[in-house]
Amino acid sequence: MYVLKSAYLAEEIEGMNTEGEKTKLIFRVLGPRIMKCTQLLALIEKLIDRYELNAEIIHEEEAEDIKVENFADFPLLLINDRVLLKGRAPGEKELVRLINRVLSSDEAIQYIDGPKPKKKFKIRWTMVVFFVAVIIYLITKVSWSPGDKSNIPMNMKDSIQQEYNYTTNGKDFQFTFIEFGSENCKPCQQMKPVIEQLQNEYKGEMNYVYVDVRDTLNKAICDYYNVKPVPVHLLLDINANKVYKGYGYIFHDSLVSVIESNIE
């Protein structure tokens, strides 16, 4: 068993609990020193240092109180005796979210997106691109004749921007997950528990939209994204840009990896 203590515990007095002291987090990682396990340990140490957490890391290659029969379930992560992750090394943003499940709302940490304020820079460029797009649209709308067919896809694009571009419409979501399906589609039905789990994990961040491909009112958006066959899954970023398109049944962990890789 390997025990690593945070530098912020160096002067800790055993059993002392002073007023205002941060909640102590015990990160317990179970599993052999495979790549996923070492990556998880390194990420935990990084977050302890970055967010100045009152924390301790315990790494055990095996434990008497926890039996893991499937090797694919390693590493197993427990925070304050709560099993929160198994079988993979999470991204930094996901690990922050897991830590906040243990902390109170007053102590919840805010995810820091790298050392530089990339998000502000991105928002500025988004506004520039948005205003340029508006100008181009107005020019082309005046220049083209009413019967010009090229106006049709532009209208659908504008509708999507208006609804799902959260940097301009003021909605609080960070990304959009659109599922195209139908009630008589078996893989669509199998996706329901996966989607429910994602909705719980990304509550307040993910805007989930279900589109019934049999409804004629949805034909325009189905044609726009070239949806066939179903189910089809689309991931749009905060600016309504399509960053992922998947087909058929997709495992929960695979979708989490896609989200964490594409959404800042």
Q: Phi and psi for 246 in degrees, rounded to 5?
A: -125, 160
The arrangement of secondary structure in 118-262, i.e. its CATH architecture, is 3-Layer(aba) Sandwich (3.40)
| pLDDT given for residue 34 in this prediction | 82
| pLDDT given for residue 208 in this prediction | 95
User: Which tops the pLDDT comparison, 120 or 34?
Assistant: 34
**What is the number of alpha carbons within 13 Å of residue 48 lying toward its C-beta?**
22
User: Which tops the pLDDT comparison, 116 or 157?
Assistant: 157
Q: What is the CATH number of domain 2-102?
A: 3.40.30.30
| pLDDT given for residue 228 in this prediction | 81
Q: Phi and psi for 55 in degrees, rounded to 5?
A: -145, 160
pLDDT in tens, 142-191: 444 444 434 444 588 899 999 999 999 999 999 999 999 999 999 999 99
3-state SS, residue 247: strand
User: Which tops the pLDDT comparison, 8 or 125?
Assistant: 125
pTM over 0.85: no
Q: Which sequence spans correspond to the domains of the chain?
A: 2-102, 118-262
| pLDDT given for residue 259 in this prediction | 92
| pLDDT given for residue 171 in this prediction | 92
Closest among 158, 153, 168, 180 to 238, alpha carbons compared: 168
Cα distances (angstroms) measured from residue 123 to each of 66, 120, 128, 159: 46, 5, 9, 20
Tell me if 50 sits within 8 A of 99, measured CB to CB.
Answer: no
Cα distances (angstroms) measured from residue 140 to each of 133, 136, 144: 11, 6, 6
